[in-house]
Amino acid sequence: MEHIALATGFLLILIGLYGALTQRDILRMIVAFTIANTGVNLVLVAVGYIRGRSAPIINDNLPAAEATARMIDPLPQALVLTAIVIGVGITALMLAYAYKLYILRGSLDISKIKELKW
Amino acid sequence: MVDALAIIYLTLGTAFLLGLLRDEWRILAYGITLLSLAMVSGIASTWVWHLADNPAESVEIMTAGASPPFAINLRMGLAEAAALMLATLTGLASTIFLKDTLLRLGRRAMAVLLVFIMAICGIILTRDIFNLFVFFELVVIATAGLVLLSHNERSLGAGFKYLMASQVVSILLLVGIIFNYHVSGSLNIDDMAGMSDMLIQTTPLAFFLLFIALIVELKPFPANGWALDIYESAHPAFSAILSAAAGTASLFAVDKVLAIGGDSWLPVATGIGVLSFIGANLFALAQTSDRRLLGYSSVAQIGLILAIIGQRDILGDSYWLIAGGVLLAHAVGKAGLFWLSGLIAERELTAWTALRDRPLLLFAFISFIALLIGLPPFPGFYAKWELIHLLAGADRIALIVLILFGALLETAYLFRWFGLILKHDEVAEKAPCPIQKVVVIYSAVVAAWSLAYLWGELSVFGNLMHAIPLLFALLFLPLEGLPARIKNVLAIGGLVTWFILQYPLYDPLQLIFGAIILPGGALILLASFHNQGRRIGFYPAALWMFAGLSMLIVAEDSFTFFAAWESLTIGSYFLILRGKHSQPHAQSYILFSLGGAFLMLLGFALASAGNPLFPLESLTTVAEDVAPWVFILLALGMMTKTAAIGVHIWLPGAHAEAETDVSPLLSGILLKAGLFGLFILLIYMGRQQLYGIDLTHVLLWVGAISALLGNLMAIYQEDAKRLLAYSSIAQMGYALFGLALMNHLGWLMALMFVVNHYIYKSMLFLSVGGVAKRTGTKEMYRMGGLITLMPLSFIAVLIGIIAVSGVPPLSGFGGRWIFYNAIMSAEYRLPMVIIFLAGPIAFLYLFRLIHTIFLGQLKDEHRKLKEAPFWIILPQMIYVACLMVFALAPGLALRHVDAYIDNFFPRNGLNWEGLTITSTYGYWSPVSIMIVVGVIFATLFAWLVFVNRRAQKVKQFNIVFAAERPYRPETTHFAWNFFAPYRKALGFMTQPLVTRFWATVAESLHTSAELFRRLYTGDGQTYAIQLLGFVVAVYLLSSGVFYGV
Amino acid sequence: MGFEWIKIPYSLLTLFIVVNYGLLLNALIAKIAARVGRRHGIPIWQNYVDMIKNYGLRTSITHGVMFYMGPVFRLSGGVGLLLFVPTIYGSVMFSNLSFAGDLILALYFVFFGTLGMALGAGESGHPYAAIGVSRGLAQVTAAELPFALAVFAVALQYETLSVTEIVAAQQGSYLNWTLFTNPFAVAAAMLSFLGSMMRPPFDVVLAPQEIPIGPPTEYHSSYLALMQTNRAIFPIAKMVVYMNLFFGGAVSWPIFFVKIFLIYMVSVLVGVVFPRFHVEHSVRWFLIWAVPLGVIAVAIV
Amino acid sequence: MDKKTHKDPAKTSAELPSVDLNPPEVQPQKPPAPPAERTIELPEELRKRTVKGPGGVEIEVEPLRDYYCEAPPTVMPAAYSKIVEDLFNWARAESIWILGFGTGCGAIEMRPLMTPRYDAYRYGIQWRPTPRQANLFVISGYLSVKTLKRAIRSYEQMQNPKYVVGLGSCTINGGMYWDSYNTIKRLDEYLPVDLYITGCMPRPEALLAGFMDLKRMIRAGEAEGANKYAEYFDWYKANQKRVIKDWDMPDYSW
């Protein structure tokens, strides 16, 4: 049961990669990459999930003492935060590139940008 | 000591501080950036200084007050400190280089640059894999940001491709990290390394993802299209940081992460490393754009270091010395070359001719190339030496061969590039030299040479920079400004004093070679007085060659021998390159010589069975099964220098196109280095058997065939210097034949040839050079009838050809006499047939040389020629005197050597008392021959003068021309295709088979490079697909490692 | 091998005998060749007369120093070769100046004359002289190979390089001449002897009428006289080497005269019969026929 | 110096036409007038030209002056003492080397001398391909002006003492070509002739007899044609230049 999140995560990654590698249009590629990123983040979180445990928020109904026994592994969630932030950064950069390339080339087709080769 | 974290928060802090400044305060922002970078590199240097004294205590830096599993820890060891220092210093230098671009781009670019440097330092320091991921992503963002900001139209495409690739990498990395965490429970590398075998058993795929992501970060060969575009299009200073600093950091990361995977993953790393080293170098052969070539070269170098990391298990404690040496050499060399490319306007390799009349920048270029290839004084040399030896110790011969092949490819395209700069016909206009850029380049040069000194100190073989001859050669660099004549006096004085100092240490064999190299070299340098001007680059190169030669003959162990061998090769390469059309020949020379040197390196490695310190004497005690291979490798290496047939094609071009006083240096002295090597080899290893064939017999055949084909090819040459060059091949074939006879007189003959060949070949080259200088051409059929105008040159050539042909009164006959006595007692007689045929053939080209130049018809344009310049004639006359003395008293030089050879071959030596030299078979008394021939000649000459008193002196057309009047001097001078009938008879033997063979080898490399580089189609998506394909391929290939097969 | 001054008059005596014998022998050979053509042939003393006439000619021209010294090199080559090899075995008088060098000196001194002559001819500026020299040198490389191999085989056989010892080893009956003990070597040597004697099968060098007598085209009067004296001495000197090496040397002058005559007749008989080879044909001919013999001689010794 | 004529033994004196076989004596005199200035235009390769040597130096090349030795021939005195000269004369007589240069129809007559029937070698007579080594120049028959030019060059390349023998009447008085526009009529005016052998082409026996006469003359020391040529060189040269229009060679071709 708990593997659904993991499976969907991987599925999303594959869809994202497939989209990025087949679409000619740059914007579609960026969208595909973001899907792949969300897939990765989902996997990250899913790995930390332990069946039958609660979210790692220490408050009154989850005292620090028996926190380690009743909560899921908090660390992947922390990692996910940075991963998301970094994913945002890179996507922003990609969009900036797409914008600049469009101004310059007038087209968003990745196969047009081939002057640097061999 | 300042806390290592200061490096990170200082750079990050200034980056944010810049945000606060007003946009127009750019100078202030730039100043702050520089200041922070300077402070950071200061911190790194103090750490290096501190840790260098006591390397044991590396510092663990805990963040957030908790121990690793719950916090990120950073480590600052000596290696990290050195890498940090490299990264920060490259960053600082590049920012200085980028002064005007940064001022144009504004403070945002400066901030991104600072973040970039911080991220690189972070990668080096951090011990936490997720933290590693964060810093890698920061590097990606900073790179893409800088490229985006640099308003360069072509780099936008490259930036986007880079981002796509890094997205795929980050996916792999994240998934790898999380699953590794999931199994090991900790993100810290050291904890994971603790349980690495458990990790590998349970989830090898997790580690694989982590590992392959970092490997792709290193831009390995098949999957690095995206990286090459960045290198090609980004600003060179920025590519310098990317290649030097970021490359170092990612290598460091791979090295750390490999600790988790354990030793079973090392072969995978080596495999990928070697593949990229050879693949990238091969592709670089076909590159015409300079920065793309540098991109390929940096990919190759990083691949090599990855391979070294992959060999960590067997390299033991010298691992850091080797990996560090190659890494630092790559970093400084590559950064320097990128900065240099910043000065050049066009992107074509030929545009670099702008450096031609900038001697200092040329010296910088050469230092960076030498650094990359690993030529003697530089750290790469020590590192490569130890690496090959340790690999040989672990019996990984295939790996050595691949690495050496890759290194040879690298020398090919780098030296071709240098040749283009010096010798390309149309010269680009002079390169502009803004101060801050030039300062950065010179600082890189200083760094390069200090690294050379440092690695010399660190290496156990004694620091090459302490060798006095090499230092003496380097002394001439600052003196380049002086006029050539003063430098010439200095050089001659240096050579002679060094010979006097070394004289007591020489044994007779070394004395003969030393006498030829040092005073002999000084004698030839006399001819250099005829040039005016400063002759930039001649004296350092010449003295570097002499340094190599003089160290070669006193080398005790294989390291100094090899170092001397490579330095004389480099020195002679620069000498050859000075000729007007000598670039292709210098290129083939350097490739053959370095190819031979690499063979010798492999030979020494096999012989020493793994321990880099290997005294030459213990060549005798090499293990039985490996000894013949060692013999073959060393002999092949040395024969490239004596231009034995098969590896001779570099010699004719190199000697013919060299300058007037360089050709004798090459032919008279340089070829003897190969002979000395063979002497040493045969002294220590003696006869070797391989599959039942006696290898000295093979040498006999090679010597005989070289003698025959050398002479035969010399006959058909139209160019005088080429004729002499082929004759040198033949004479060296003779000497090799004498050596391979393996008996007392054979060796004595070889030594006699060494002395004889030096004297008459230098004399002939000098006289032909003098004539060529006066007539302006080397083509023999264009000259003729110069005997009246250039009598002294004629006498020199006359005495020379009498000596070469072995006609009695002169010393050549001595060589032939000893040769005959030697073959009498030789037991293997078949090659004698070829040597006997080669003997008289020498007459043909000798007569052709003297006839077509001095006798026959005088051409109109040569009627007013003056004698060759005084300084070229003087050495010739000294040589004539030497030949006469050596003809009359051969005992002077050979008596001691004869005694010396006794302790190798006691039987049938010569006894020298009285005028006659007797051997067991015959006798020869040079003095009485000279007197008898002299008396007969004098009496008959007097008789002719008496009888023929009133001879009428006539001019050139008073000849019996079938009662007709000769038409013009050109049509009556018989010189073109002088031996046409002989070509019909034996011409088939001179088919250029060897040249064609080597041409096809080179051609196949170029076409394969040309063909396969189409792999990089330029389309970002194909790059991403290639990257994934690479990952899957490595996964499948390394599955053996997975399941512990 | 101390140097006694008496050796000089002795060698001059040998020289005198050989010069006269040479001139007479050449005339005799020419007469025999004429008689083969049913011509009366030249008088026996004709060579003397020609020499005196050439010495007696009043004018001469010179193309330069090397041209002037060409014939001197040539003649000193001939005289030197004769004197460096002992003519009569066993007699102190006629061992000439052979103390100076052994067989190899003789082998290489042959080239001294050729080289000098080539330089002189070259200086004359005449293209035919140069063509003649190029043909001569090209032919000599192939001709010398079988001779060198034969000499090497003989030296190996007798384990010595000194001519007197080789001759000593062949004394006793004629059966232990090298002719019988090592026939292949002698065969190779005699074939190469044909090549070096400027007789028709291999006289493309002088090639009378074709390139008017090749190298000596420009030589005349006293230069030619010197060459004529050399033409008397040089063949004899070369044949002395052949005689000593292969035919048991000469114990007395009559045997010397007979043996030299017979050896000379070998090249004459072949010369009278065969047409002239081109250079490439003669080179090929030597390499195909004479060299294998030499190789066998060296192999089986 | 009287010229000995040699009758052809095959014909008896009666049948001969009563033509005066002794041409008037031709005495070489001092040259009448300086030779006419060279009228023809020199061929291209002999014209004065300037050539750029290596290093840009300008070189003036005057072919006739630079390529050829311009020294005139000198009279060569006989050897000092008479005995030596007699010996040399005897040797010169006994070994006459003829230049193999058949100038006219008589050359075919010389070939039989090399054959067994007539065999001139018995008398020390030999044919040499190069003028340098020849002593006797046989002008065998009519001499056209073009051949004269080559004959002069070959004659001048021979060494002193040298002899010239004229065959047939064409060399004496033009013979049957007496009115031809391009042959020379009296060989004597152009080359110093020592002996004529008459006969419209004398047979080999006549040639041999002629050579025997020549031997006697040489032995007697009368055959000093070379010195005569040197002594009256200008006179001979003037005659030659009057006939040879395209004179494009030095005066004396060494």
Which residues in chain B have their CB less than 8 angstroms from residue D66's CB? Answer: 863, 955
Work out the mean pLDDT of chain B and round it to a whole number: 90
Percent of chain A with pLDDT over 70: 98
Omega cis (within 30) before B966: no
Element holding D245 (H helix, E strand): none
* Alpha-carbon distance D138 to nearest alpha carbon in chain B (angstroms): 15
Q: What is the pLDDT of residue B722?
A: 94
Mean pLDDT of A52-62: 83
**Are chains D and A in touch, 3+ Cβ pairs below 8 Å?**
no
* Alpha-carbon distance C224 to nearest alpha carbon in chain D (angstroms): 8
Residue of C35, C55, C220 to mutate, interface with D, max D Cβ within 10 Å: C220
**Would an 8 Å CB–CB cutoff place D115 in contact with chain C?**
yes
Length of chain C: 301
Among residues B993, B414, B1000, which one has the least CA distance to residue B649?
Answer: B993
Q: What is the pLDDT of residue D33?
A: 55
Q: 3-state SS string over chain C?
A: CCCCCCHHHHHHHHHHHHHHHHHHHHHHHHHHHHHHCCCCCCCCCHHHHHHHHHHHCCCEEECCHHHHHHHHHHHHHHHHHHHHCCCECCCCHHHCCCCCECHHHHHHHHHHHHHHHHHHHHHCCCHHHHHHHHHHHHHHHHHHHHHHHHHHHHHHHHCCCCHHHHHHHCCCCHHHCHHHHCHHHHHHHHHHHHHHCCCHHHCCCCCCCCCCCCHHHHCCHHHHHHHHHHHHHHHHHHHHHHHHHHCCCECCHHHHHHHHHHHHHHHHHHHHHCCCCCHHHHHHHHHHHHHHHHHHHHHHC
State the ipTM, two decimals: 0.87
CATH class of this structure's domain D76-241: alpha beta
Residue of B866, B947, B958 to mutate, interface with D, max D Cβ within 10 Å: B958
Q: What is the pLDDT of residue D1?
A: 41
Which residues in chain B have their CB less than 8 angstroms from residue A102's CB? Answer: none
Q: What is the pLDDT of residue D32?
A: 57
**Would an 8 Å CB–CB cutoff place A32 in contact with chain B?**
no
- What architecture (CATH level 2) is domain A3-52+68-112? Orthogonal Bundle (1.10)
- The answer to whether D61 contacts B860, with C-beta atoms less than 8 Å apart, is yes
Percent of chain A with pLDDT over 90: 46
SS3 content of chain B, % helix, strand, coil (to 5): 75, 5, 20
Where are chain D's structural domains?
Answer: 76-241
Nearest CB to C59 within list D124, D129, D160: D160
- In tens, the pLDDT along B853-884 reads 999 899 988 988 889 999 999 999 999 999 99
Q: β-pairing, B73-76 with B59-62? A: antiparallel
Q: Is pLDDT above 50 for C32?
A: yes
Q: Which residue has the higher pLDDT, C14 or C90?
A: C14
Chains contacting D (3+ CB pairs below 8 angstroms): B, C
Nearest CB to C279 within list B801, B933, B982: B982
Instruction: Point out the least confidently predicted range of C109-113, C211-215, D154-158.
Output: C211-215
- The answer to whether B965 contacts D248, with C-beta atoms less than 8 Å apart, is yes
- The answer to whether C209 contacts D161, with C-beta atoms less than 8 Å apart, is no
Q: What is the pLDDT of residue C101?
A: 82
Residue of B947, B964, B989 to mutate, interface with C, max C Cβ within 10 Å: B947
Among residues B290, B570, B284, B591, which one has the least CA distance to residue B412?
Answer: B591
- In tens, the pLDDT along B958-1017 reads 998 888 888 888 899 998 889 988 888 888 888 889 999 999 999 999 999 999 988 888
Q: Cα separation of C143 and C193, whole Å?
A: 8
Nearest CB to D124 within list C42, C59, C217: C42
Sheet bearing D97-99, strands edge to edge: D126-128, D97-99, D136-140, D163-167, D195-197
* B-proximal residues of A, 74-113, CB under 8 Å: 75-76, 79, 82-83, 86, 89-90, 93-94, 96-98, 100-101, 104, 110-111, 113
Helices then strands, each counted (H, E), chain A = 4, 0
Place of tokens 């064939």: B693
Residue of B789, B965, B967 to mutate, interface with D, max D Cβ within 10 Å: B965
**What's phi and psi for B918, nearest 5 deg?**
-110, 140
Q: What is the pLDDT of residue B55?
A: 72
Which residues in chain C have their CB less than 8 angstroms from residue D78's CB? Answer: 58
Nearest CB to A104 within list B153, B187, B1017: B153
- In tens, the pLDDT along B431-450 reads 888 888 999 999 999 999 99
Q: What is the pLDDT of residue D38?
A: 55
For chain B, list residues with pLDDT below 70.
Answer: 151, 1041-1045
Chains contacting B (3+ CB pairs below 8 angstroms): A, C, D
Which residues in chain A have their CB less than 8 angstroms from residue B157's CB? Answer: 101, 113-116
Residue of B133, B148, B151, B160 to mutate, interface with A, max A Cβ within 10 Å: B160
- The answer to whether A76 contacts B181, with C-beta atoms less than 8 Å apart, is yes
Query: Directed axis angle between helix B583-608 and helix B650-657, to 10°?
Result: 130
pLDDT tier at D30 (50, 70, 90 boundaries)? low
- In tens, the pLDDT along C150-189 reads 999 999 999 888 888 999 988 888 888 988 999 999 999 9
Nearest CB to C224 within list D76, D94, D133: D133
* Alpha-carbon distance A61 to nearest alpha carbon in chain B (angstroms): 24
CB B128 within 8 A of CB B72: yes
**Would an 8 Å CB–CB cutoff place A37 in contact with chain B?**
yes
Element holding A81 (H helix, E strand): helix A75-105
* Alpha-carbon distance B953 to nearest alpha carbon in chain C (angstroms): 5
SS3 content of chain A, % helix, strand, coil (to 5): 70, 5, 30
Work out the mean pLDDT of chain C and round it to a whole number: 89
**Would an 8 Å CB–CB cutoff place A21 in contact with chain B?**
yes
Mean pLDDT of C59-65: 90
Nearest CB to D69 within list B774, B775, B952: B952
Which residues in chain C have their CB less than 8 angstroms from residue D69's CB? Answer: 61
**What's phi and psi for B519, nearest 5 deg?**
-60, -35
Which residues in chain D have their CB less than 8 angstroms from residue B958's CB? Answer: 68-69, 157, 253-254
**Would an 8 Å CB–CB cutoff place D87 in contact with chain C?**
yes
- The answer to whether C141 contacts B954, with C-beta atoms less than 8 Å apart, is no
**Would an 8 Å CB–CB cutoff place D178 in contact with chain C?**
no
B234: nearest CA in chain A?
A: A116
CB D193 within 8 A of CB D187: yes
**Would an 8 Å CB–CB cutoff place A31 in contact with chain B?**
no
pTM: 0.91
